[in-house]
Structure 1
């Protein structure tokens, strides 16, 4: 069990180091190619560009297209994995706290917060790429992933009101979700983003529940 925990901590630390980096040169070039191609053809989004007959079967453009999708998928998956690390360390921290192992519990809660924050950073990077290429479908998928990850449970919200840093992380997630939903206010994707709106609603309900529970401690 200790080996598994230490490996989890190491994974979180490695992820923190990785997220501090800017987009790689290769990622930046791929995005610039897509941007200039859309300008050249006077198109509004990546999806329209992919359907152009002159670029549809172009081997170079196929490679660029695949790279963009892989970048978004990679960062999105990292966000999901780090979110799950956060949940795991949170659960272990709760168990240690209940058993009186306060030193171990404090360490786990610290890594829980760090994992949660870096998870959000990965999601932001994926969303940034999707927005840069104006790919609505990618953005919808990312929003659904965010919605799935932000559907908090009672156990996940444990300690929210007892730790200022955790409360700040919670508030940041809520604000981020509300901001990304605004991107689609003028688009016809209401049905698809309903899950995201539901996630925000869940956040608010759980926040009220947590504050109410804390008042009874």
Structure 2
């Protein structure tokens, strides 16, 4: 599939319209641009993926990279993306795919790396997104979701060497679900320190307080694919979902 995307990205003067591809258990909606960039939304085995090909090569051996994209709002915001071969993969595919339905253009800026200059791409998006909708529906992904407005692209891709022991609040919120975004610094031996709650949902659920205690029991392995730098700042999301 990545080979298909890479080949499509080489087409010159490609029309800006979604192309639908379907093969066995894979459904794809893709756009190819004459600047060498291709966007693809892929549903494979009920898993959604949003991929960009044709960007400048990342640093050798890198597993993640930073891109600046006008999602969720109109302003460019830095976010972490995963590297898979020649493709750059979103860590929040449903949010990005829904944005591709509603925006009239996508701006992608790849920061300078390894002596390569920064690159900025202005990509027009078509108003007809039937092929995109079909791909989302194939993965049972809602076409509209209000929580996209609160998506925070600054959250780091954290791999835990020791996962935090999550403690529920004394009184569970309705539905038994709560989440909190914490901002911490990296302490000695990968321990989170100086943490503070950035956002709690539901508000005043009590989970922020318990999460601030729980995260101290974790030990960081990787942040955005690299070793956690002592003194560095990161954001992460902790959730709890208790099913009766």
Fold conserved between structures, TM > 0.5? no
Higher strand share: 2
Higher relative contact order (CA 8 A, sep 6+): 1
Pick the structure with more helix per residue: 1
TM-score by length of 2: 0.22
